[in-house]
Amino acid sequence: MNRNDLEQVRTFLHEYDGPEIRLMEVCGTHTASIAKNGIPALLSPAIHLISGPGCPVCVTVTDYIDRLVSLSRTPGTAVVSFGDLLRVRGSRLSLADARADGADVRMVYAPMQMLDFAAREPDRTFVFAAVGFETTAPVYALTLEEAARRELRNVKLLTSLKTMPEVIRAVVRAGTPDGRGRIDGFLAPGHVCAVTGSNEYQELAEETGLPFVVSGFTGPQLLASIAALVKLQGRGTCLNFYPEVVTGTGNAEAKALCRKYYEPCDASWRGLGSIPRSGLRLREEYRTLDAGSSGLDGDHAARGCECAKVLTGQIMPVECPLFGRICTPQYPNGACMVSQEGSCYNWYISGRTR
Amino acid sequence: MCVAYPGTVLAVKDRTALIDFSGTRVEALTGLVRTKPGDRVLVHAGCVLQVLPPEEADEMQSLFDEIASLSEEDMKETAG
Ligand code: SF4
């Protein structure tokens, strides 16, 4: 890589004085990396970055957390989860609260670890808190496949699996042309695209008339993608700026595995309500592996929390009256401040103000 | 949560691979892609998501070239 090229991109982004442009990243890992690399401070005041509904933990409704809490307190049942979800509160309690109270909650970094628990403790049912997007859905499917091969019958999923295209359409629909929710282009989620392929995003670009750039996760990759979006404004086209990982058609094995285990379903998103065909659920023939995922649509966020508006780009985190005063990473009020990929969390830790 | 880490495959078994992440060794499922020892791979949630091209490949250069070519198109559009 030529340092000069990177410098040119930085200068372009810093000195840009064209029309105000609002770009949304729809991947929580992008949100975290943008904060870590201090990218907002490198951009001209005319370029705004908005975190979309791309942090699976942040978009999960309270009914789902409540169901996990109640499963974890059921005798003979353990809930297995990634760390990020543990501190997110449902209508009253989080999984961490339940665990402190004696419930069986186990934290892992990979769903596959649950299979060793299940083999060691055959009399206990293990329920994985299967949240995530297209990237993680095949990992859960592979875990079920592996469980079947190892003849483990005490393994289930509580699914809250989401897919990107429909929620992106919903975000575009929600924004008025001159209003605050307006989005002029999207950083497309690099690892989601590794599974789905970038062609889906070309379709979205043509349909919405907005540019999409599939981006990697390093500082230079993100700057390059943002520069491309600025230059592409007004054009409905998609560029793949992460070609070492993403192809047009994606990962055929992962897609086949997802088709085998899941079917599209309506899904409830914090801040956006129920969106048709924006989720995945286990197919009828695998429903015995489901721990009661359907109908968990109610969302009762903490009082005063503006997560819903933050997640759709209607307000910036600093505009929430609780931000930094009552709501901090130590004492989070909403999911966006709990998750390390949350918009509020990342604004707080990086001291971002615009 | 879609975070993924690059590592190198040390050994491949039936359905798993032993991956080295700069000294830390972790087992990962290989059901989504075929891998062999020596491959650089991207691992997500204990599962190999993709095989990466060799480290020498300078992907960034082609991105910068592409950005530069976008400007030329822009200029052509303004000129035309
Ligand atoms: S600052 Fe806290 S209360 Fe306000 S929107 Fe963010 S997470 Fe919710």
Query: Does residue A70 sit in the same domain as residue A154?
Result: yes
For residue B28, pLDDT over 80 is answered with yes
In this predicted model, what pLDDT tens digit does every residue of B54-76 receive, in sequence order?
Answer: 765 677 788 888 888 887 665 45
- Work out how many domains chain B is built from and give that number: 1
Contacts by B51-55, CB closer than 8 A, 24 or more apart:
B52/A244, B52/A245, B52/B6, B53/A244
Instruction: Give yes or no for A241 touching B (CB within 8 A).
Output: yes
Return d(Cα B32, Cα B47) in angstroms, integer. Answer: 8
Query: Does residue A213 sit in the same domain as residue A133?
Result: no
Instruction: Give yes or no for A293 touching B (CB within 8 A).
Output: no
Asked if residue A148 is part of any domain, the answer here is yes
A-chain residues near B3 (CB < 8 A): 29, 32, 191
In this predicted model, what pLDDT tens digit does every residue of B4-26 receive, in sequence order?
Answer: 888 999 999 989 999 999 889 99
Asked if residue A353 is part of any domain, the answer here is no
Min distance B53 CA to chain A CA atoms (Å): 6
Asked if B29 lies within 8 A of A146 by C-beta distance, the reply is: yes
Domain membership of residue B10 as a residue range: 5-79
Q: What is the ipTM of this complex?
A: 0.88
Name the band, by pLDDT with cuts 50, 70 and 90, for residue B80.
Answer: very low
- Residue A4's pLDDT is 82
CATH of the domain at A20: 3.40.50.11750
Number of Cβ within 10 Å of residue A48's Cβ equals: 18
For residue B78, pLDDT over 60 is answered with no
Query: Does residue A210 sit in the same domain as residue A255?
Result: no
Region for residue A313 given its phi and psi (left: phi exceeds 0; alpha: psi -120 to 50; beta: otherwise):
left
Q: Give the CA distances from residue A16 to residues A11, A29, A93, B34, in Å, rounded to whole numbers and listed in that order.
A: 8, 26, 46, 44
Q: Please tell me whether the overall predicted TM-score, pTM, comes out greater than 0.90 for this model.
A: yes
CATH of the domain at B16: 2.30.30.140
Give the three-state DSSP class for B58: coil
**Is the Cβ–Cβ distance between A43 and A226 less than 8 Å?**
yes
Mutational test site, ligand 1, from A309, A310, A349, max ligand atoms within 8 Å of CB = A310
Query: Does residue A144 sit in the same domain as residue A9?
Result: no
Between vectors from CA A135 to CA A103 and to CA A196, what angle results, nearest 5°? 155
Tens digits of pLDDT across chain A (354 residues): 566 888 999 999 999 999 999 999 999 899 999 999 999 999 999 999 999 888 888 889 999 999 999 999 999 999 999 998 998 889 889 999 999 999 999 999 999 999 999 999 999 999 999 999 999 999 999 999 999 999 999 999 999 999 999 999 998 888 766 667 789 999 999 999 999 999 999 999 999 999 999 999 999 999 999 999 999 999 999 999 999 999 999 999 999 999 999 999 999 998 788 999 999 999 999 999 999 999 999 888 777 788 888 888 888 999 999 999 999 998 888 889 988 889 999 999 998 988
A-chain residues near B4 (CB < 8 A): 135, 191, 194
Domain membership of residue A342 as a residue range: 318-348
Query: Does residue A152 sit in the same domain as residue A260?
Result: yes
- Residue B56's pLDDT is 58
Asked if residue A309 is part of any domain, the answer here is no
